[in-house]
Structure 1
Amino acid sequence: MTDAPPSNRARGAIAAGFRRVGARTEVVGPHETGGYRLRLPRTHGGPCEAVIVNTGGGMAGGDRAEFAFAAEAGTAATITTTAAEKVYRGVHASEAAAGGAEAETRVSVALTLGGGAALDWLPQETILFDGARLHRTLDAAMAEDADLLMAETLVFGRLGMGERMGAGRVRDRWRVRRGGRLVLAEELDLGGDVAGLLDRPALGGGARASATAIWMSPRAEGALDRARAALDMPEVSGGASAWNGMLVARALSPSPRALRAAIVALLSGLRGRALPRLWA
């Protein structure tokens, strides 16, 4: 098996803005390339809802995806995905042993929030197949009084088929700037025998799924008790902290289904309303 030539690697992007029109928020100027599409299901009141669709059904080594969304002042929007994203093998094990180059899957997300804007970045899970190599970055720039809720969940292996994520690597970098100041920097770099690392008590304690949720809001610190209560579920180890107008919650579980239930409870509680219907 050889690396796919560059011409066979997928490149896709979505860029869109959200603008207030009367009492409603509408999408403006959507731009789509490659296999990605943005769909706008009808909602009855509440924020504008935008759904990212990957028509390719997943991502492989060497694929690239770029997402950029800008919420203008006073807008309210939720961005999600149709289903879990799948990241397939980046390079065959025999190639890696022979010194073959790793083919990373790269995803970049850029979020911009104007004054008083409220934006929820809530994609469904990312499933990492054995041999996957994911490099993901998320950069957010928000006004001082904006409201940003973000959550990402990683599933390590196609567990429903009895597969674990052995060799592979995931790099996840988050940066959030509020009022021009860097207020949050997250960095995850997990590589090698990923399942073996997650089995270590100090790292994952046998976890096969992890989630991080971050809420930047003047209301965030007041929601700390609710967040901790939502994560208090069987098979889930989680915790939350709040300071300086932000709340950070993390959770691990050997069961992706149990973790999903906890994250749904957490996000629904923070939002004060149900998650998009596609999460059901």
Structure 2
Amino acid sequence: MFAPPAPAANDPLVPAYVRAAGGVRLHFGRAGGRTHRLDVAESGGYRARFPTTYDATCEAVLINTGGGMAGGDAMRVEVMLEPGSDAVVTSQAAEKIYRSQGADTRIETSLSVAGGASLAWLPQESILFSGARLARSLDVELAADSRLVVSEAVFFGRSAMGEVMARGALRDRWRIRREGRLVFAEDLRLDGAISEALARPAIAFGALAAATLLAAGPALQDDLDRARALGAEEAASPVEIGAGIVGDLLVVRLLSPDAQALRRVLVTLLGHLTGRALPRTWST
């Protein structure tokens, strides 16, 4: 069973000083034909582990030892790539965002990709429980010739267990700059009766899972063609795919009333965009 949503109390049951706060800072650079971690900083209950890779790429897996986040918790992730480096950053598991008494759960991500470098930011989905309040931001700095693939997915409740996100809030802010110039800005806000809002045709038409993918690189038209071809192949599935090029960025949206179906299509699409198999944590 799960706790039904309720109005926030005037006085929080858990004081602010016991809320979890921390994060990870990663700095990658290229040496000897391979990408290496140059600096790693961890705080709070957040850790980074580096599985063995057999190519020039360095892979990092982010771990939340607390097993999830609640209202008032905060996490910050900073990733920096030196020129010519190649890194994949993912998470050990889906991030669970639990019910809040009123305070937001805050997740801040900052990515910096230098010239000739390539970053795949591939965290697994965030699962919002009923009553959750998530405020999330993504800030990206790109060089003129850097490459990037970003994936962010949200599941509104655990549909396999019959849960829905009756009430709560989601605020998602994206800012992407290339050579200091703003090339992509987006703000999403859902607040209040989430399940009712998602049922509206103009918002999600009953979808319970959503994902946004963004790619920056030299072959955007080819990537767009692959995304649209996959959309045609999945025409009979419950996953809706929309893709287009905005400026010099490929933007792909996924919506589905079936979270597992969306995840399956997301894995296929990310394989096309990154040109590699996803990290092992995506299949464990």
TM over 0.5: yes
Counterpart CA distance in 1 for 2:242 and 2:42 is 37
Superposed counterparts of 1:136-155, under 5 Å: 136-155=136-155
Shift in Å, 1:221: 2.6
Shift in Å, 1:161: 2.0
Superposed counterparts of 1:61-210, under 5 Å: 61-91=71-101, 102-210=102-210
Report what 2:268 is aligned to.
Answer: 265
Identity of aligned residues (%): 49
Report what 1:37 is aligned to.
Answer: 47
Q: C-alpha deviations, 1:154-180, integer Å up to 9, x for none?
A: 000122221100110000000000011
Counterpart CA distance in 1 for 2:158 and 2:280 is 24
Q: Is the 8 A contact 2:33 2:56 kept in 1?
A: no
Change (3 A) 1:76 1:235: same
Report what 1:94 is aligned to.
Answer: none
Q: C-alpha deviations, 1:195-227, integer Å up to 9, x for none?
A: 111111111111000000000112223311101
Shift in Å, 1:7: 1.8
Q: Is the 8 A contact 1:219 1:245 kept in 2?
A: no
Counterpart CA distance in 2 for 1:149 and 1:57 is 26
Q: Is the 8 A contact 2:21 2:44 kept in 1?
A: yes
Q: C-alpha deviations, 1:96-154, integer Å up to 9, x for none?
A: xxxxxx21000000000110010010000000000000000000001010001101000
Report what 2:245 is aligned to.
Answer: 242
Instruction: Kindly provide the amino acid, as one letter, of the partner of residue 209 in structure 1.
Output: A
Instruction: Kindly provide the amino acid, as one letter, of the partner of residue 247 in structure 1.
Output: L
TM (norm. structure 1) is: 0.94
Counterpart CA distance in 1 for 2:13 and 2:88 is 37
SS at match of 1:124: coil
Q: Is the 8 A contact 1:221 1:243 kept in 2?
A: no
Counterpart CA distance in 1 for 2:92 and 2:256 is 23
Report what 1:20 is aligned to.
Answer: 30
Is there any run of 5+ residues in structure 2 with no aligned partner, and where? Answer: 1-8
Is there any run of 5+ residues in structure 1 with no aligned partner, and where? Answer: 92-101
Report what 1:98 is aligned to.
Answer: none
Instruction: Kindly provide the amino acid, as one letter, of the partner of residue 45 in structure 1.
Output: D
CA RMSD of aligned residues (A): 1.1
